[in-house]
Chain A
Amino acid sequence: ETGVTQTPRHLVMGMTNKKSLKCEQHLGHNAMYWYKQSAKKPLELMFVYNFKEQTENNSVPSRFSPECPNSSHLFLHLHTLQPEDSALYLCASNPLTNRQQQFFGPGTRLTVL
């Protein structure tokens, strides 16, 4: 158990649906991240939040909308996705120490039909 939870674990949605992914960390960390992991590609950083403030948006399309209401919760709101958005979406957190170890949640496996 890593202390980072994600729901749902699996999600199938149509291109016109709106859904949200949720991440919660119980580790007291100050930074939270969304990553996308597609087959045969390295993890791609999508968004970073430090102390609830977004500090990085890695050229992510606007159909992905993050929300960080507090330092323990992170959401990724999805709307009008494309089939190529099907991937494993991983949430991570870290305490912003020098070593920058990332603690990952189990991920949400998303399929867009």
Chain B
Amino acid sequence: RKEVEQDPGPFNVPEGATVAFNCTYSNSASQSFFWYRQDCRKEPKLLMSVYSSGNEDGRFTAQLNRASQYISLLIRDSKLSDSATYLCVVSGGSSGGYQKVTFGIGTKLQVIP
């Protein structure tokens, strides 16, 4: 089983649609969770951290379910500029003095006019 598993997509959605991505992780000792966004041929950038209570940032909502070991990202009212790859990132399980960080393969989103 992959440490962090994501559907690579692509997800093709019309402008204004709501789209949800899920991510599962295998290490129950994981402590921190993030969604990163990566535009084509660019570096990943932090989109938002994911907290146990769930958190929202504008049109973006992230949820964490520790019991089922999955994380979700909901994007409402999709914009063309949301087109990118969304990386699920999990950290935890100390290794050599730092927390191990594992990336999912990313889910590609294409918002269509």
Contacts and interface: CB of A to CB of B under 8 A. Distances in A.
Given A2-B43, A43-B44, A90-B43, A102 B49 contact: no
Interface in A52-68: 55-56
**Chain B interface category by residue count:** 20 to 34
Given A42-B105, A104-B45, A106-B43, A56 B96 contact: yes
Contact of B103 (A40, A43, A98, A101): A43
B62 to A, nearest CB: 14
Interface string A82-113: 00000000100000101111101111010000
Contacts, number: 59
B42 interface: yes
A27 B89 CA distance: 21
A40 B45 CA distance: 19
Contact of B32 (A2, A56, A98): A98
Given A100-B32, A101-B46, A104-B44, A45 B101 contact: yes
Contact of B101 (A40, A102, A106): A102
A40 to B, nearest CB: 7
A90 B43 CA distance: 7
A101 B34 contact: yes
Interface string B41-84: 11111100100000000000000000000000000000000000
B105 A41 contact: yes
A42 B103 contact: yes
What are the nearest 9 A-B pairs in CB distance? A55-B96, A104-B43, A43-B103, A100-B91, A42-B105, A42-B103, A100-B99, A56-B96, A106-B43
Interface of B: 4, 8, 31-32, 34, 36, 41-46, 49, 87, 89, 91, 95-99, 101-106
18 contacts: A42-B87, A42-B102, A42-B103, A42-B106, A43-B103, A45-B101, A48-B96, A48-B98, A55-B96, A55-B98, A56-B95, A90-B43, A100-B98, A100-B99, A100-B101, A102-B44, A102-B101, A106-B42
